[in-house]
Amino acid sequence: MAIWIEEDAKVLVQGITGKQGMFHADKMVEYGTNIVGGCTPGKGGQTVDLQGKAFPVWDSMFDAIKETDADATVIYVPPPFAAEAIMEAADAFDTIKGEGVVVCITEGIPTLDMVKAVAFVENRPGVRLIGPNCPGIITPGENGGAKIGIMPGHIHAKGRIGIVSKSGTLTYEAVAQTMSIGEGQSTCVGIGGDPVNGTGFIECLAAFQADEQTEAIVMIGEIGGNAEQEAAAWAAENVTKPIVGFVAGATAPPGKRMGHAGAIISGGKGTAEEKFAAFAAAGIACAKDPSELGAVLLESLKAAGLR
Amino acid sequence: MNIHEYQGKALLKANGVPVLEGVHCTSVDQALAAYDHLGSKVVAVKSQIHAGGRGKGTLYHPVTREHVMDGGVKIAFSKEDVDTYANNILGNLLVTIQTGDEGKVVNNLYIEAGCDIAHEYYLAILVDRENKSVLIMASTEGGMDIEHVAETTPEKIHKISVDPNAGLLGYQKRDLGLALGLTGAAHKAFVKSLTSMYTMFVANDCSMLEINPLVRTSDEQIIALDAKVSFDENAEFRHKAWDDLRDLSEEEDVEIRAKETGLSYVKLDGNIGCLVNGAGLAMATMDVIKLYGGEPANFLDVGGGANEEQVKTAFSIILEDPNVKGILVNIFGGIMRCDIIARGVIAATEALSLEVPLVVRLAGTNVDEGKAILAASTLNIHPADDLAEGAQKIVNLIGGGN
């Protein structure tokens, strides 16, 4: 087991005929992801060549899911159309299967579009949205696995550490840190750096807590909002597995957007200091430097009798 | 993206929200003409900068930093007053609690007619991250620092969460008006204004619309006496009109150029320049520099797919800052390959004849090729295997922090 995405999950790619979509679809197939085709309105009936094999393209997500019985979709659609792509996928999964995972990689979607799209997805309780503005989700397997997103597959290995993070490359850093102490990952989820997104920290922590394969959790936050504080308080009550944490942005000046749309300290709220304090209060072992995540994780595993 | 009060008010007016008559000016002569035009005995002379706390701010001479006047928003009772205030404000530096010590030069004035205020309220519309919806906040305690009100008397702040499927509903608007103690004509006017403001917020992709104060006049009108409007930059593609509202003098020139080349750059006060891929890792890199006793000079995210040219632009932007005494490059290659970054770093350091120490930490895709390229170069590039080592090396190379 892993969370939400099994190693052999059937995956569709929305925007598969675009430059980004095709590039990453190819990388996913190379990694071993079970890509079953894609969707680009107006390009139905065509095929796309990935790793020397032809993959079908549909005009609509309804057709694509009916034909393939897909479990998940990943969206590489430009910002003006991405929120609608999320809703199309959610509607199709809900109508046809009653469930499905929608992963949106796109950065730069208008916030009010996301307010609408998130409400639309939440009305379809069987559908899970991950992202947007995220690296995606990966469940490493024995040979390959399910890589749904843009992360470099080769740095991962199957294991027992669950990782959840708002950031892309910082997640890769966390993955490398687990590998440095000889630990692999159950599932790594990038929840994204936008102010309004789908799946949050708490849902990830709950899923990792319930997952048999996961024995410890790494949680990476950043400045802005209070999702980390809420997750820490929730974890103190509900998570028995060891959690190791880091928060980026301790040196960020207030009122400035630090790359991610959601990474901003506004009205003195959402600072790294606040979040580290909430982590510490919840018994989460904190690294002050991401290069120390491995060492802190190792200590936590030892303390829990897992090493 | 922020706009000035006078622009926000024009937008409110166009959407049917009552505002007082006012004139935007960029010179003292225009301000005097505006006074005559408005025909109001009492007018407000308001500094226009993209920062709050203007009324309680202080004006200084931009060069000598000599004290000029207290208060960036003044009430003028005569044409002579307008003359004095406009002279004291235009071209001078306004320092408020939100500008930092460096302050902002005031290039724009707003001269506004007066009105007879019966009560001041607070009203804001914003995106609530926690509830993933639009939130409306209102209070009877207008004209004050709302964060202070929230801390000391939270019961005086009323909130409405807008259901994205249903929109802002009639009963929500009526109830909010009643919670503010409004009745009769004023209640009716409030409901109408709130409807218009919400429509404007959504239609213009605002991220914040704050009216502090929103006033009730002695004749029961509801008027927006201030306007703080900001837009969601992600929606820029569908709002061509924003080009005309953007005041480039309010933004850091170098941050604008960085954005044009697809880089995300924020200038800081330290002396170690950073070049990183990914926003989270870029922040973490700054944090770790600080942790090992240094001070970061900037935040710089080159994005997920930077090419050689962008790396070069990134270096030149970092080096424009005269405080930079050393540079730390931290790349975790995913989509981005380390060998491409290594070539970009070498090309940039050669082209810019880099004189400050450079530490490069590479990890991820094609890391061995990348490291080999750097090692084979005759340039003085210090390699590092992880972030901590990279940060320690650059801090040591420049001889400690600031």
When pLDDT is averaged across residues B56-63 and rounded to a whole number, the result is 95
Q: In chain A, where do the E strands start and end?
A: 10-14, 34-39, 47-50, 53-58, 72-75, 100-104, 127-130, 136-140, 145-149, 158-165, 185-190, 216-222, 243-248, 285-286
* pLDDT tens, position by position, A64-114: 999 999 999 999 999 999 999 999 999 999 999 999 999 999 999 999 999
Quote the CA–CA distance of A143 and A268 in Å, as a whole number.
47
What is the chain B residue with the closest CA to A226?
B130
**Residue of B205, B286, B334 lying closest to A112 (CB–CB):** B205
How does pLDDT run across A247-293, given as a tens digit for each residue?
Answer: 999 999 988 888 888 888 887 789 999 999 999 999 999 999 999 99
Nearest to A115 among B98, B132, B287 (CB): B132
CA distance A30 to A71: 19
Q: Is beta strand B22-25 parallel, antiparallel or unpaired with respect to B43-48?
A: unpaired
- Report yes or no: B229 and B208 within 8 Å, Cβ to Cβ: yes
Alpha carbon B253 to chain centroid distance? 14
Average of per-residue pLDDT across A182-191: 97
Lowest mean pLDDT among A46-50, A142-146, B143-147, B235-239: B143-147
Number of CB atoms found within 10 A of residue B23's CB? 18
Q: What would the pLDDT profile of B13-47 be if each residue is shown by its tens digit?
A: 999 999 999 999 999 999 999 999 999 989 999 99
> Which candidate from A152, A220, A249 shows the least CB-CB separation from B334?
A152
Gyration radius of chain A's alpha carbons: 19
Percent of chain B with pLDDT strictly greater than 90: 79
| CB-closest option in A154, A169, A261 to B278 | A169
Q: Which residue of B has its CA nearest to A119?
A: B164
pLDDT of residue A266: 81
* pLDDT surpasses 90 at B191: yes
Of B207, B276, B277, the CB nearest to A111: B207
Closest residue in chain A to residue B167, using alpha carbons only:
A116
Q: How far apart are CA B32 and CA B26, in angstroms?
A: 11
The whole-angstrom separation of Cα B90 and Cα A220 is 46
pLDDT at B353 over 90: no
Strands, DSSP E only, in B129-242?
A: 133-139, 157-162, 206-217, 222-224, 228-231
Axis-axis angle for helices B28-38, B79-89 (nearest 10): 150
Q: What is the pLDDT of residue A293?
A: 97
Residue keyed to tokens 């239609």 = B203
Region B249-278: what's the mean pLDDT?
A: 89
Using an 8 Å CB-CB cutoff, list chain B residues near A253.
266, 268
- A45 to chain B, closest Cα gap in Å: 29
Q: What is the mean pLDDT of chain A?
A: 95
pLDDT given at position A262:
85
What's the ipTM? 0.92
Chain B stretch 317-336, residues whose beta carbon is closer than 8 A to a beta carbon of chain A: 332-335
B198 given a catalytic annotation: no
Crossing angle of helices B338-351 and B308-320, in 10° steps, is: 50
Mean pLDDT on A135-140: 96
Closest-CA distance, B236 to chain A, in angstroms, reads 9
- Please say if the pLDDT value at position B401 is more than 60: no
Q: What is the pLDDT of residue B333?
A: 84
Q: Which residue of B has its CA nearest to A167?
A: B280
The CA distance from A283 to the nearest CA of chain B, in Å, is 22
Res A207 pLDDT > 70: yes
pLDDT at residue A224 greater than cutoff 60? yes
The number of angstroms, rounded, from the C-alpha of B33 to the middle of its chain's C-alpha atoms is 32
Q: Which residue has the higher pLDDT, A296 or B355?
A: A296
The whole-chain average pLDDT of chain B stands at 93
Inter-chain contact A111–B364, Cβ cutoff 8 Å? no
The whole-number pLDDT of residue A268 equals: 79
Task: Give the pair of three-digit tokens for residue A226.
Answer: 């209070």
Asked if the Cβ–Cβ distance from B279 to A259 is below 8 Å, we say yes
Kindly determine whether residue A258 and residue B299, on different chains, have CB atoms separated by under 8 Å: yes
**B387 pLDDT exceeds 50?**
yes
Active-site hit among A24, A154, A156, A260: A260
Say yes or no: A226 contacts chain B, CB-CB below 8 A. Answer: yes
pLDDT computed for residue B402 by the predictor:
47
Q: Which of A173, A255, A262 shows the shortest C-beta gap to B332?
A: A173
Residues of B in contact with A257 (CB under 8 A): 266
Residue B242: is its pLDDT beyond 80? Answer: yes
How many CB pairs lie under 8 A apart between chains A and B?
178
What's the mean pLDDT in A137-156?
Answer: 94
Q: Do A251 and B334 touch (CB under 8 A)?
A: no
* Helix ranges restricted to H, B204-232: none
How far is A195 from B129, CA to CA, in rounded Å? Answer: 6
Model confidence band, residue B289 (pLDDT cutoffs 50, 70, 90): very high
Indicate yes or no: CB of A263 within 8 angstroms of CB of B279.
yes
Mutation for A interface: B240, B299, B329, B369, most A CBs within 10 A = B299
Read off the pLDDT of each residue in B77-86 and give the average, rounded to a whole number.
Answer: 96
Q: Is the minimum CB–CB distance between B166 and chain A shorter than 8 Å?
A: no
Residues in B closer than 8 angstroms to A119, CB to CB, are 132-133, 163-165
Judging contacts by C-beta atoms under 8 Å, the chain A residues touching residue B401 are none
Residue B170 binned pLDDT confidence (cut-offs 50, 70, 90): very high
* Phi, psi (deg, nearest 5) at residue B213: -100, 155
A156 Cα to chain B: minimum distance (Å) = 11
Residue B86 banded pLDDT, cuts 50, 70, 90: very high
Q: Tell me the pairing of strands A285-286 and A243-248.
A: parallel
Q: How far is A228 from chain B (nearest CA, A)?
A: 11
Give the pLDDT of residue B400.
67
Evaluate whether B73 touches B45 at the Cβ level (below 8 Å): yes
B236 is catalytic: no
Percent of chain A, pLDDT > 90? 91
Task: Give the predicted TM-score (pTM) of the model.
Answer: 0.94
Q: Across the interface, do A258 and B282 touch by the CB < 8 Å criterion?
A: yes
Show residues of chain B in contact with A249, CB under 8 Å: 283, 287
Stretch A10-36: mean pLDDT: 96
Q: State how far residue B53 is from chain A, nearest Cα, in angstroms.
A: 13
Q: Which of A167, A223, A257 sits opposite B278 (nearest CB)?
A: A167
Structure confidence by residue, pLDDT tens digits, B88-114: 999 999 999 888 888 999 999 999 999
- Taking the Cβ of residue B301 and every Cβ of chain A, the question of whether any pair is shorter than 8 Å is answered with yes
Q: Which residues of A touch B334 (CB under 8 A)?
A: 135, 150-152, 168-169, 172
Kindly report whether the peptide bond that precedes residue B213 is cis, defined as omega within 30 degrees of 0.
yes
| Gyration radius of chain B's alpha carbons | 26
Residues of chain B positioned with their CB less than 8 A from the CB of A246: 284
How confident is the model at residue B260, as a pLDDT?
Answer: 85
Contact residues on chain B for A250, CB-CB shorter than 8 A: 287, 290
Check residue B226 and give left, alpha or beta (phi > 0: left; psi -120 to 50: alpha): beta
